[in-house]
Chain A
């Protein structure tokens, strides 16, 4: 979403810059045939300025348009800094006695309401568990996982450092068949979209003749 937005806005700004820049250069060269737009006038003539300030709407435009653009640009700027980690996940509790209220000592413990039959799992906790799971897969040296909020629920981002001799196919099948279903089942998610970045540890040292 952010990618699409950024690219559309960049494209529009780029178009504006090209149009404006070429227009500016053309006017500087005096390529406009129009008599009104002669190149030998100053940027702003006093008559233009007076004509504009005579209109009642001018001040609205003069402050409204830059203000609006400023707001949009601020929104665009701060959208770039948005890291969106998953703070917590709600999981349906199906243990016996869930949702029985305070005496049943369900799982809420006052946090989500005692009669609620949900528990909350911290996003970090699930990510750590996934990391731990990943580190048992053959060929994986080190793994780090994060859960990121997305439009349709959480997305898992994983960085895996594999041994240079590892077989990516078996490694990825193991992740797909063991680790991911584990994570999904643990919090009852129907799907868990995953972006996995496969790296190797630093390459083998350069060999020399001894």
Chain B
């Protein structure tokens, strides 16, 4: 199809799409998976370490085979042939290796990328994330829009958003109701896969 034909096709099709089911064809939040990290850095580090160890072993083996083993490798062999197993350092090294292994397994099975919150997919093979900071920023903007609010600090979790709001010259109950209503509406409108609960804490400020 030609390049200039595309916009016409598109503008004809899209209004029908949106009117058909703009509210319902967004994916279900319950089915959304969390963001999984590639674990590139730990994988790279482990690979580098394995490369170093096996490379050294090969180097020692080859040089020993042609009788040109460097001095340190002969010292190492000497130590291995005289040092007994029963030693505190053996135990310590073994335990450190075991803890490291446990850590690698934890890295392998946990999702990572805790800062990313999945949004419900708008469909069409779209995967949408926002960071916690982003969600917090959206909520903060909403909170600051109410009159009497001086400042809002948001701590965003996956399930709960804690807002500490400084206010003045306002009835706290009144403000609380207004803010809760607006913030919950806003939290719903963010289309997060898991809609966070809003935990609102009002703090009066009386001048500086």
Whether A associates with B in a native complex is yes
Residues of A within 8 A of B (CB): 2-3, 6-11, 13-30, 38-46, 49, 59, 62-63, 66-67, 69-70, 73-74, 76-77, 80-81, 92-95, 164-165, 167-169, 172-173, 175-178, 180-182, 185-186, 188, 191-200, 203-204, 206-209
Q: What per-residue 1/0 map shows which CB atoms of B104-129 lie under 8 Å from chain A?
A: 11011100000010010011111111
CB-defined contacts of B140 to chain A, threshold 8 Å: 164, 203-204
Residues of A within 8 A of B13 (CB): 181
Q: A6-B38, A95-B2 are in contact. Are A66 and B125 (CB under 8 A)?
A: no
Identify which of residues 67-102 in chain B touch chain A, using a CB-to-CB cut-off of 8 Å: 77, 80-88, 90-91, 93-102
Cβ-neighbour of B108 out of A10, A95, A165 (below 8 A): A10
B141 within 8 Å of A by Cβ? yes
Judging by beta carbons under 8 Å apart, are B205 and A66 in contact? no
CB-based contact A17/B98 at 8 Å: yes
Sample (6) of A-B pairs whose CB atoms are under 8 Å apart: A10-B46, A14-B101, A40-B86, A173-B22, A197-B128, A208-B208
- B residues in contact with A6, CB < 8 Å: 38-40, 42-43, 108
Closest 5 CB pairs of A and B: A17-B101, A21-B97, A25-B94, A14-B104, A24-B94
Asked if B107 and A10 make an inter-chain contact with CB atoms under 8 angstroms apart, the answer reads yes
A172 to B124, CA, bound (A): 11
Q: Which residue of A lies closest to B98 (CB)?
A: A21
Please determine whether B191 and A168 come into contact, CB atoms closer than 8 angstroms. Answer: yes
Q: Are B130 and A73 in contact (CB under 8 A)?
A: no
Separation in Å of the B107 CB from the closest CB of chain A?
A: 6
Nearest-Cβ distance from residue B44 to partner chain A, whole angstroms? 4
Main secondary structure of the interface of B (DSSP, over half): helix
Q: Which residues of A contact B96 (CB under 8 A)?
A: 21
Tell whether A204 pairs with B47 under 8 Å between CB atoms, given A27-B85, A73-B54. no
Q: Chain B residue with minimal CB distance to A96? A: B2
B50–A69 CB distance below 8 A: yes
Are A176 and B123 in contact, CB atoms less than 8 angstroms apart?
yes
Shortest Cβ gap from A133 to chain B (Å): 10
| Complex interface: chain B residues within 8 A of A178 (CB) | 10, 14
Interface string of B129-167 (1 = CB under 8 A from A): 111011011101100100000110000000000000000
Chain B contacts to A: CB under 8 angstroms = 1-3, 6-7, 9-10, 13-14, 17-18, 22, 36-40, 42-44, 46-48, 50-51, 54-55, 57-58, 61-62, 65, 77, 80-88, 90-91, 93-105, 107-109, 116, 119, 122-131, 133-134, 136-138, 140-141, 144, 150-151, 168, 189-191, 205, 207-208
The A-B contact count (CB < 8 A) is 268
Residues of chain B contacted by A73 (CB below 8 angstroms): 47-48, 50-51, 54
Closest A residue to B43 by CB, please name it.
Answer: A6
Give the residue of A44, A81, A168, A180 whose beta carbon is less than 8 angstroms from that of B126. A180
Contacts of A40 in B (CB 8 A): 84-86
**What separation, in Å, do the CA atoms of A73 and B83 have in the docked complex?**
30
Residues of A within 8 A of B126 (CB): 172, 175-176, 180, 193-196
Which residues on the B side are within 8 Å of A22 (C-beta)? 94, 98
Given known A-B contacts A3-B39, A17-B104, A74-B51, A45 and B151 have beta carbons under 8 A apart: no
**In the assembled complex, which residues on chain B have CB atoms less than 8 Å from the CB atom of A196?**
126-129
Contact of B1 among A9, A16, A70, A94 (CB under 8 A): A94
Contact B101 A21 (CB under 8 A): yes
Could you say which residues of chain A place their CB within 8 Å of the CB of B43? 6, 9-10, 76, 80
